[in-house]
Structure 1
Amino acid sequence: MSNLRSTADFLLHDWLDVSRLAQRERFADHSRETFDAVFDTCERIAREKFAPFNRTVDVEEPHFDGERVILPRCTYDARQAYADSGMLSAAQDYELGGMQLPYVVEAAANGFFACASVSINTSMLTSANANAILVAGSPVQQRVFAANEFNGRWAGTMALSEPQAGSSLSDIATRAEPDGVDFEGDVLGPRYRLRGNKMWISAGEHELTENIVHLVLAKIPGADGKLVPGVKGISLFIVPKQLVNEQGELTGERNDVALAGLNHKLGWRGTTNTLLNFGEGRYPVRGGPGAIGYLVGQPGEGLKNMFHMMNEARIAIGMAATMLGLAGYYASLDYAKTRTQGRPVGVGGKDAAQAPVAIIEHADVKRMLLAQKAYGEGALALNLYCALLVDEGRTAAGEQAERARLLLEVLTPIAKSWPSEWCLEANSLAIQVHGGYGYTRDFPVEQYWRDNRLNMIHEGTHGIQAADLLGRKVRMQGGAGLMLLAETVNATIQKAMAHARLAGHANQLARALADVGATTKAAWANEQPEEALANAVPYMQAFGHTVLAWMWLDVACSVLSRDATLSDPQSVGRMGATDYFFQYELPRIGAWLQVVKERNMVCAQMPLDAF
């Protein structure tokens, strides 16, 4: 935790200068001291209530006894400590019981919990669920549902995928039909009856809270009783596990939401992952068949309203992947410092009379550790930068806020996808540093890899993120977002040119940026989506590596501005990670971009029977 704290402190204060946010009205009550106090609290709870039980929740998986889902006691204690800390509503208004913290501080503080045990930390979707209701819900829905999620009484989920549809939301078949029964003066919103099945619902059933608030995508039938094809007919509904009244009190009647099964996962085993049936009749609700749901916003605007939740969730997944990468790095670093094996290459290196050295003295182990540091700390820089853009978009004035929102739109696919790929690679390297021991459950690094493998799928697969990036984000508003990114990166390049130590890296990044821009144009030269998007993932990999090179170059500028002689070992470490990224990682982008430029169709045109 101490390594994470020092890295987060540097990035937040020495690099991003987040204390300047206290000059804005919303954050006027805050300062470096209040931010540090939040970090102290979160670091302590993570150390005491989460970290000691990371292995426990991995081996004592949730199970269903026929009536309820059973979780180990430590999960209840950890969630209660987290809720009591106020972190569920840390960035919310005082009127909602929040602290009005900057989102960037909230995101960094939550990192301690993910680093300690990502599998215990089940609160991510609760906050995102409540935020979606704040954006699109009625005042009553905000007061009843969002407020009780923020105060910890209730938990939240998002229910999108269906067994037959997967990520193709246009193919969902859950129906929502208007409920003509008006009992007890219900004012929670237009009431519907939902019937359908939802899959891959994280924390979809448990006893951690007195209620679970599901945000469900469903289609309202047309006048002919048929569902509207595509995404236009999709609406968003609040479907509570336990029915409630307008005062937020449980009515004592269970909604017709039933657990159909638990998914048994490679990682994140401490979090329940469920298949839920809505309206199957296991828990009949008076007035007719179907689960009671309350429309959020306008009919047909479900995806728009849900995406308020999904974008935040994607940044959170990027942070989760980052923290798992860093957890593996810290574990393998400690191991490499204490594990003795072999002797240095060179004169006398094979002399058995010499004492074995710690494996961290071997060049290849240093390579693996440096790669992990470059991936993990670089990903943390990226996600904190994106979190700061959230704050800028919400609280800056005029054009500054608009630019922040636009830049965030372009970077969000990278903030989710890049850490989930490369911090997974960091976890693989952490296993390699441990050698055979890393493959056993005697050490934590194998669990970090298993937990992290989910994140390339979580909240939109790599392919979905890549199609979003190349198919929409870099082209929206006539390419304005991509041009803004180039402008912002070029500002860092010019800043770096003032440091002789960084001039070579600055020129290398300038070439990479130009190559990404040219490749973007080449991909769409004939305006054929099937050709342009055939290699969207390699494009995203190259785009992401260019963005991470920018992050490291900007961080390096801050390092040299504060410690020009590199007298601090941490400064040496950050500069070493920068050098590693430019010399070992950024050169990879050429091969990735080449197939995109050519609109190479080897994969797309592979005959099905040839497999």
Structure 2
Amino acid sequence: MTMRAWLDFLLYDWLKAEQLCSRPRFEDHGRETFSQVLDTCERIAREKYAPFNRLVDTQEPHFDGERVTLPQATHEAWAAYAGSGMLAAAQDYELGGMQLPYTVEAAANAFFAKASVSINAGLLTVGNANLLMAHGTPLQQQVFAHREFKGEWAGTMCLSEPQAGSGLADVATRAVPDGEGSADDPLGPRYRLFGNKMWISAGEHELTENIVHLVLAKIPGPDGKLVPGTRGISLFICPKHLVRPDGQLSGERNDVALAGLNHKCGWRGTTNTLLNFGEGRWQPQGAPGAVAYLVGQPGQGLACMFHMMNEARIAIGMAATMLGMAGYEASLAYAKDRKQGRALSQKDPSSPPVALIEHADVKRMLLAQKAYSEGALALMLYCARLVDEQHTGTPEAAAEAALLLEVLTPIAKSWPSEWCLEANSLAIQVHGGYGYTRDFPVEQYWRDNRLNMIHEGTHGIQALDLLGRKVVMQGGAGLKLLATRINQTIEAALQQPALALYANSLAQAVQRLGAATKAAWATGQPEDALANTTPYLQAAGHVVLAWMWLDVACSAGQAPADRQAGILAATRYFHLYELPKVGPWLEVVASREAVCRDMQPEWF
């Protein structure tokens, strides 16, 4: 099944996306307009992104000490993407948006991630603007967010520092009030920033006339010291070029300096930067420090930034998914074309070799890739559907969607990042020795995907978030809701004899997950409960993906015969080969196995 056919099945046959058009916000739309958007994005991705995926991998961004140079193809891809209106796809008509459901927006953007994840398609710019629409003042929205939605300006998120990656409590960038009258600036309370930010994607380029940096920094207390921990963190808008309240550039460069480019194993087409704020290269408005404007209230910066971080985590999950899909399609095509070996029953060495896809173990590797990537895409679109429910559903449905999304977000970010990376590894394996060469794209897909287990919160951070916060918040209400939704699918599957076996195995896995969660927290001590968070994350992710496949299989009855057979085969594979892994993972969680916690540095 082609990616487009799978997308259409998930959108229309499984998620019933057309039903969203009965809601006032989406009443102008229907399957026809949704398909037009998908067609446009598929075409742009095919023409402006895919042909240059290898180019941007081999011709990395170059910094000559003054400016960054990107391939012309990247400029043309950005222009085509911005011109498509996709940066404002979900926004109000008054902002030049399309008022598209997020479900359709996510599906359309999947084409770009698959064609070339390394060419910037606006992921951070949209997230930056959406944060400002949620937490910025009306003027901040008008001056910054609206220009980002038009593609005239780009956006970043500046969290990590050289000494503080995942540990944001140790952020040391300082924000000092900018003298007399700074509190009354029309763009917001004005500060001067001093510090360094590391791993900033798209932190410097010339694709747009301005870059809007959203920066986490701490405001010194009355004693001049920074407040320790995350409660002292505030959020600031810090533009590359200074802006007047009417939204026009002032002509003055802000003191945000590119200190250097980070050279990564993947995502090479996107600049990744170390930025210095207030180092003195420029003196905007005649004073030291980078001019910045407070967003929201002092000390609430991390809470505001989570709006963008959670959006980015789902986007990274989608990027990982589509890289897995790209590798799957490449290795499937190769396995059909490449002749290698003979059937086990064939004793005549002079007989012609058969295609790789005729061998059972190659089918195993392809089935795994299909189950991982197509299942992950189902999860990502399910999460996108929850976003639409959260924003446009009834109050009760919106509250449930928000709660379920809280639990699923760490899984949606991390599961594709781990298992679609494994799919890329299997794609290399299917190619054999050719897989390690640049004659085929699968080695690049693996390198690009390896970053996603770190991007927007490492695997370990997602695991801590899931077991340490999400499944126990509100007395475990989120986990109970997840179990309720899964049990609804199990009940439906039990009515179909072909799915009953899988329904029963999933029911047992859900039971084990709930019991392990309780056992992990039985002592009430975080040190005991959180000693095995990653196995818990892996188990929870596999339970969720088994649910996705079973739910999709319940909707497969009206599909064409080959598509239905493929769905049932992938469901069978996942439940028989993958779901059993949940048991060993949860054993160490439930027993609160302490070897990882107790291991001493000198024992290594």
**TM-score range for the pair, normalised by the shorter chain length:** over 0.9
Q: Quick check: 1:530 aligned with 2:523?
A: no
Q: Is the 8 A contact 1:148 1:154 kept in 2?
A: yes
**Alignment partner for residue 500 of structure 2, among 484, 496, 503?**
503
Match of 1:584 in 2: 577
What code does the residue aligned with 1:416 have? K
Match of 2:186 in 1: 187
**Cα deviation, residue 182, structure 1:** 4.5
**Alignment partner for residue 593 of structure 1, among 568, 586, 598?**
586
Q: Distance in 2 between matches of 1:35 and 1:326?
A: 22
**Alignment partner for residue 351 of structure 2, among 344, 354, 359?**
354
**Cα deviation, residue 185, structure 1:** 8.5
Instruction: Tell me the alpha carbon deviations over residues 263-322 of structure 1, each in whole angstroms, 9 at most, x when there is no partner.
Output: 000000000000000000011112421000000011111011000000000000000000
For 1:9-158, what aligned pairs fall within 5 Å after superposition?
Answer: 9-158=8-157
Q: Distance in 1 between matches of 2:301 and 2:489?
A: 39
Q: Quick check: 1:569 aligned with 2:566?
A: no
SS of alignment partner, residue 308 of structure 1: helix
What code does the residue aligned with 1:180 have? G
**Alignment partner for residue 542 of structure 1, among 539, 547, 557?**
539
**Alignment partner for residue 482 of structure 2, among 478, 481, 485?**
485
Q: Quick check: 1:250 aligned with 2:249?
A: yes
Q: Distance in 2 between matches of 1:416 and 1:29?
A: 32
**Cα deviation, residue 571, structure 1:** 1.3
Q: Is the 8 A contact 1:181 1:287 kept in 2?
A: no
Q: Distance in 2 between matches of 1:186 and 1:533?
A: 46
What code does the residue aligned with 2:271 have? T
Instruction: Tell me the alpha carbon deviations over residues 390-445 of structure 1, each in whole angstroms, 9 at most, x when there is no partner.
Output: 01000001111100000000000000000000000000000000000000000000
TM-score by length of 1: 0.98
RMSD: 1.1
Match of 2:596 in 1: 603
Q: Is the 8 A contact 1:186 1:245 kept in 2?
A: no
Instruction: Tell me the alpha carbon deviations over residues 26-85 of structure 1, each in whole angstroms, 9 at most, x when there is no partner.
Output: 111110000000001000000000000000000000010111001100000001000000
Q: Distance in 1 between matches of 2:220 and 2:121?
A: 34
Number of equivalent positions? 604
Q: Is the 8 A contact 1:113 1:121 kept in 2?
A: no
Q: Quick check: 1:448 aligned with 2:452?
A: no
Q: Which 4+ residue blocks in structure 1 deviate beyond 2 angstroms?
A: 181-186
Instruction: Tell me the alpha carbon deviations over residues 105-161 of structure 1, each in whole angstroms, 9 at most, x when there is no partner.
Output: 000100000000000134100000000000000000000000000000000000000
TM-score by length of 2: 0.99
SS of alignment partner, residue 531 of structure 2: coil
Match of 2:402 in 1: 405
Q: Distance in 1 between matches of 2:120 and 2:286?
A: 38
Match of 1:554 in 2: 551
Tell me the percent identity.
72
What code does the residue aligned with 2:397 have? Q
Match of 1:201 in 2: 200
SS of alignment partner, residue 412 of structure 1: helix
For 1:418-457, what aligned pairs fall within 5 Å after superposition?
Answer: 418-457=415-454
Q: Quick check: 1:386 aligned with 2:387?
A: no
Q: Is the 8 A contact 2:112 2:121 kept in 1?
A: no
Q: Is the 8 A contact 1:114 1:121 kept in 2?
A: no
SS of alignment partner, residue 155 of structure 2: strand
Q: Distance in 2 between matches of 1:389 and 1:287?
A: 49
Q: Is the 8 A contact 1:204 1:272 kept in 2?
A: yes
What code does the residue aligned with 2:473 have? M
Q: Is the 8 A contact 2:81 2:121 kept in 1?
A: no
Match of 2:7 in 1: 8
Q: Distance in 2 between matches of 1:586 and 1:167?
A: 30
Match of 1:469 in 2: 466
What code does the residue aligned with 2:464 have? A
Q: Is the 8 A contact 2:25 2:99 kept in 1?
A: yes
Match of 1:235 in 2: 234
Q: Distance in 2 between matches of 1:177 and 1:135?
A: 25
What code does the residue aligned with 1:335 have? Y
Instruction: Tell me the alpha carbon deviations over residues 356-400 of structure 1, each in whole angstroms, 9 at most, x when there is no partner.
Output: 111000000000000000000000000000010001000001111
Instruction: Tell me the alpha carbon deviations over residues 193-226 of structure 1, each in whole angstroms, 9 at most, x when there is no partner.
Output: 0000000000000001000000000001111111
Q: Is the 8 A contact 2:182 2:190 kept in 1?
A: no
Q: Distance in 2 between matches of 1:183 and 1:598?
A: 56
**Cα deviation, residue 580, structure 1:** 0.2
What code does the residue aligned with 1:242 have? H
What code does the residue aligned with 1:526 have? T
Q: Is the 8 A contact 2:339 2:354 kept in 1?
A: yes
Q: Quick check: 1:395 aligned with 2:392?
A: yes
Q: Distance in 2 between matches of 1:352 and 1:278?
A: 69
Match of 2:224 in 1: 225
Tell me which moved more, 110-119 or 282-291.
282-291
**Cα deviation, residue 183, structure 1:** 8.7
Q: Is the 8 A contact 1:122 1:203 kept in 2?
A: no
For 1:309-324, what aligned pairs fall within 5 Å after superposition?
Answer: 309-324=308-323
Q: Is the 8 A contact 1:193 1:291 kept in 2?
A: yes
SS of alignment partner, residue 157 of structure 1: strand
Q: Distance in 2 between matches of 1:106 and 1:467?
A: 30
What code does the residue aligned with 2:476 have? G
Match of 1:371 in 2: 368
Match of 1:171 in 2: 170
Unaligned runs of 5+ in 1: none
Q: Is the 8 A contact 2:406 2:478 kept in 1?
A: yes
What code does the residue aligned with 1:273 have? N
**Cα deviation, residue 230, structure 1:** 0.5
What code does the residue aligned with 2:302 have? L
Q: Is the 8 A contact 2:182 2:189 kept in 1?
A: no
What code does the residue aligned with 1:464 have? I
**Cα deviation, residue 353, structure 1:** 1.9
SS of alignment partner, residue 274 of structure 2: strand
Q: Is the 8 A contact 1:325 1:426 kept in 2?
A: yes
**Cα deviation, residue 186, structure 1:** 4.2
Q: Is the 8 A contact 1:430 1:445 kept in 2?
A: yes
Q: Distance in 1 between matches of 2:94 and 2:184?
A: 26
SS of alignment partner, residue 221 of structure 2: coil
Q: Is the 8 A contact 1:122 1:271 kept in 2?
A: no
Instruction: Tell me the alpha carbon deviations over residues 321-355 of structure 1, each in whole angstroms, 9 at most, x when there is no partner.
Output: 00000000000000001000111112xx2312211
Q: Distance in 2 between matches of 1:181 and 1:377?
A: 57
SS of alignment partner, residue 535 of structure 1: helix
**Cα deviation, residue 568, structure 1:** 1.9
